[in-house]
Amino acid sequence: MTRLEIYCDGGCRGNQAEKNVGGWGAYLVWGEHEKELFGGERNTTNNKMELMGAIEGLRAIKNKNVPVDVYVDSAYVLNGITQWIFGWMKKGWVNSKKEPVANKELWQELLAQKNMFPDITFHKVKGHSTNAGNNKADELANRAMDMVLAGKL
């Protein structure tokens, strides 16, 4: 059976500055079918945008029974959804430093989306490299940032 591929990326120009712009992109591929999704906002973080790319990519899939491969270039997203989240939940959403988990609501939403799929695997890819799908997701995230700055998104 064909697996649906989702390539996700997020970015933030001026990350951690008081004023910045962020964008996320999700590029979905199933056989010959492709779908491009993107969005962005002001005064956000890179990590939030990385999470939004994965969340919105999964939300866009109508048939939750299709096998899915999610490709991310963010170790934060990959480790968070495949490892850390289980400890956070057990410990009442505190991290290893005994501090509240950052982006808790986004992590909860990503987990909810992930749990809708009986066959889903997350993969790490190298960002800004030779992976065409990841490069497309990066392009979409940058398009979103440009559109936010231009007041078109």
Q: Which of 36, 87, 123, 128 is catalytic?
A: 128
DSSP character string of 123-141: EE--TTSS-HHHHHHHHHH
Residues 6+ apart with CB under 8 A from 104: 93
Q: Which of 5, 9, 41, 109 is catalytic?
A: 9
Cα gap 149→95, rounded to integer Å: 34
32 as an active site residue: the answer is no
Q: Which of 10, 11, 53, 133 is catalytic?
A: 10
Number of neighbouring beta carbons within 10 Å of residue 50: 28
9 as an active site residue: the answer is yes
128 as an active site residue: the answer is yes
Q: Which of 73, 80, 109, 133 is catalytic?
A: 73
The single-letter code of the amino acid at 67 is P
138 as an active site residue: the answer is yes
Q: What pairs with residue 8 in β-bridges?
A: 26, 72
Cα gap 119→66, rounded to integer Å: 7
Cα gap 108→135, rounded to integer Å: 27
123 as an active site residue: the answer is no
Phi, psi (degrees; rounded to nearest 5) at 44: -130, -160
50 as an active site residue: the answer is yes
Q: Which of 50, 53, 56, 80 is catalytic?
A: 50
Active site residues: 9-10, 50, 73, 128, 138
